[in-house]
Structure 1
Amino acid sequence: MNHLFPYIERTLLHPGVTINQQYEALDEVTQLGLAGLTVAPFWVKKFRRELGDNHPAVLSTVIGYPFGYQRTEAKQAELEWALRDGAGELEVVLNTSALFSPTSVWLKIELAKLVALAHAQETFFTVILESSLLDQDQTKAMIKLATDAGADFIKDKTGALPTHFSLDAALAFRRYVAKSVGVKIVADGATEAELEQLVAVGVDRLSISPLTP
C-alpha cells in the first residue's frame, strides 16, 4: 500500500478525538510520507508547531464544519484565525441549507469572498459538498459553483454524516469535476483496490480517518 501513501490525508474531525490519537496520526504522516493531516481549528496552532514550517505534509483544517450554515462573517473569522495559526490548506463546508432555499444566490458570493481571502495568503482552498444529500443535478451545479469561484479542490463529503463508501459514487464525482480542479474523496471503508481505482482516475487526495477505539 506504500504507493498510496502520498495521496492519503489523515483526517481527525470526530468530536471525541483525543490528543493521543492526533499524535498517532501525526506519526503516521511523518513516518509514512502521507499527504497531510486535517485537524479541527482548535488544534491547528499546536500541530503547526509540531510539523514546523517546512514539513512537506500539508496541515489542513475545516471552516464552517460540519454543516456549513454559519454566517459568512463567522466563516471569514474562522478562516482568518486558521491562517494566523498556520493552516496550509482550508476546507470550507458549502451551506447545503442555503442550497435548498431561495437564498442559494448567496452561496456564490460567500465562496468568492472566502476564496479571495485564502488565495491572498497563497493558501489552497477546498470546497466540501455533502453530496449524499444532493441529487445528480444539484451535485453538478454545486461543483460548477465551486469551480467558478476558484476552488483548488472539491471534496465529496464532510465525513460527519453516517454514510457508506461507494466506489461508483466516488468515480462519478471525479467525472463531474473538471480536470483543472483537484478532487478529494472521503474514503473511509474503501479497500486498497478501490483506493487504487480512485487514484488511477485522477483523484488527488484520499481522506481517511484513523480507526477509533
Structure 2
Amino acid sequence: MDCTCHDIAQMIDHSLLRPELTEKDVREGCEVAKKYKVATVCCRPADLALVTQLLKGSDVKPSTVIGFPHGCNKTETKVFEAEQAIADGALELDMVLNIGKLLDGDHDYVKKDIKAVVDVAHRSNVAVKVIFENYYLNDEQKKAACRLAEEAGVDFVKTSTGFADGGATLEDLKLMRKHVSEKVQVKAAGGVRDLEMALKVRQVGCTRFGATRTETIMEQCHKAKE
C-alpha cells in the first residue's frame, strides 16, 4: 500500500444520509468521523446544525446535500437549500444535477442549475460537488455532465447518490477523470465498502469517496500497516 491511513481517511466523506438514522446515530457517526480524522461528515440538511456543533474543534468538515436524492427541485429551491446549509455551517455541498433535463439534452438548463448553486457557495468559500447519478446515464451523457459541471465552476464531480440501483464503478471513475481537467476532483459514492475498493478508486484518480463503513475501511487500513 503506497499511502498512509491518514491519506485514506482524508478521502472519506463519512455518510449519514439514510432516512432512518436517529439523532443517536448521527452523534455516533460524528464520533467515528473524529476518531479516524476523515475529510467530512456528509449529513442530511436537518441534521447539519447539530453536526456542525459536534464537529467543532476538529478538522472534520461538515457537509450536506442539495436537491437530494433526485435532483428535480427547482433551481430556486436548490439555491435556498444552499444558502440555508451555509448558514448552518456547511463547508462542502453535494448537489444533484437535474437528471431528467440532462436526459432531455437540455444542457443550458443543467449548466445554469449547477452554476446557481456554485455561485452562492463560492461566495462563502464553500466547495461544490455535483452528483450525476450515472446509473441513469450513457457514456455520452456522462461526458456531457463532466463538461457542463466544469463550465459551471464545480470543485468535484461525483458518480452517484448511493440511492439508485447502481453506485460507483471503476469504469465511470476513469471516464470522469478523463473528461474533467485536473482542477476538478472526482468523488465516488456507492460501493466503497472496504480498503480494497478504496485503494482501487484512488488508483484511478479519485480523491474522495462517500462511505458508511468508515470504521471497517480504517481498521482494515491500520491492520494492513501493522
Q: Do the two structures share a fold, i.e. TM-score over 0.5? A: yes
> Does residue 94 of structure 1 match 2:116?
no
Show the counterpart of 1:13.
Answer: 17
In the alignment, the residues of structure 1 paired with residue 127 and residue 156 of structure 2 have an alpha-carbon distance, to the nearest angstrom, of: 8
Superimposed CA distance per residue, residues 1-59 of structure 1 (whole angstroms, 9 cap, x where no aligned partner) = 8342221111111211222222222111111111110001101111111112x531121
The list of structure 1 runs, each at least 4 consecutive aligned residues, that deviate by more than 6 angstroms after superposition, is none
Q: Alpha-carbon deviation of 1:126? A: 1.0
In the alignment, the residues of structure 2 paired with residue 170 and residue 58 of structure 1 have an alpha-carbon distance, to the nearest angstrom, of: 24
> Does residue 22 of structure 1 match 2:26?
yes
Superimposed CA distance per residue, residues 141-172 of structure 1 (whole angstroms, 9 cap, x where no aligned partner) = 01110001100111110111122553333333
Task: Tell me which of 72, 76, 79 is aligned to 1:73.
Answer: 76
Instruction: Answer yes or no: is the 8 Å Cα contact 2:173–2:186 preserved in 1.
Output: no
Q: SS where residue 11 of structure 1 aligns?
A: strand
Show the counterpart of 1:140.
Answer: 143
In the alignment, the residues of structure 1 paired with residue 163 and residue 103 of structure 2 have an alpha-carbon distance, to the nearest angstrom, of: 19
Going from structure 1 to structure 2, the CA distance change for 1:104 and 1:46 (only over 3 Å counts) comes to same
Going from structure 1 to structure 2, the CA distance change for 1:51 and 1:191 (only over 3 Å counts) comes to closer
Residue identity matched to 1:119: H
Residue identity matched to 1:199: R
In the alignment, the residues of structure 2 paired with residue 181 and residue 100 of structure 1 have an alpha-carbon distance, to the nearest angstrom, of: 23
Residue identity matched to 1:43: D
Instruction: Answer yes or no: is the 8 Å Cα contact 2:135–2:167 preserved in 1.
Output: no
* Structure 2 stretches lacking a partner, 5+ long: 215-226
Task: Tell me which of 51, 55, 61 is aligned to 1:51.
Answer: 55
Residue identity matched to 2:52: R
- TM-score normalised by length of structure 1: 0.91
Show the counterpart of 1:39.
Answer: 43
Compare 193-202 and 160-169 and name the one that shifted more.
160-169
Instruction: Answer yes or no: is the 8 Å Cα contact 2:102–2:110 preserved in 1.
Output: yes
Residue identity matched to 2:145: M
Going from structure 1 to structure 2, the CA distance change for 1:164 and 1:82 (only over 3 Å counts) comes to closer
Task: Tell me which of 155, 159, 179 is aligned to 2:158.
Answer: 155
